[in-house]
Amino acid sequence: MLDAIETYLALRRTTGFAMSTAEYLLKSFAAFAAERGQTYVETKTAIDWAALGPSVAQRDAGLRAVCRFVRHVRVEDVGHELPPANHFGARKKRRTPHIYTTDEISRLVEAALRLRPMRGLRPHTQATLIALLSSTGLRISEALKLTIADVTRDVC
């Protein structure tokens, strides 16, 4: 099973995923299964292993990592059982998004311009960033990674 896990991790890494948490979880699961003399993923073993996690969220994350691995490996070897992904019933709770009004954005820009120290570019940089985010819909990570090469003279 470890060879299949290494192949899976290598493939996912080449597509841009870090996989450090998945690597830890899958190798832990493989050791647990090996102690039981298993070379294939079995649903009961996967659930028993995941149940060792200290919280519902961690148990759920472990079982989901195994499920993603099994979906990959079953393409070539149907001997692996696919455990139910939501066995532990964990649910992520997302906050309701807040859409800023034009007035709120204006107040944020004005407040940014009053940042200390008043001299220098910091207040103007923050105000420009807020305006950029609100007018383009960029994510903060996208806006912070912009370079001069991203700026063009194109006019809509």
User: End-to-end alpha-carbon separation of the chain, Å?
Assistant: 55
Model confidence at 127, pLDDT cuts 50, 70, 90, reads very high
Residue 145: both structure tokens together: 């990674």
Q: 119 and 134 in contact (C-beta within 8 Å)? A: no
Q: Give the number of other CB atoms < 10 A from CB of residue 57.
A: 13
pTM of the model: 0.60
Domain boundaries, the chain: 2-73, 102-150
Residue 105: what pLDDT? Answer: 96
Residue 152: what pLDDT? Answer: 82
Calculate the average pLDDT of the chain: 91
pLDDT by residue (tens digit) across 42-88? 999 999 999 999 998 899 999 999 999 999 999 999 999 999 988 98
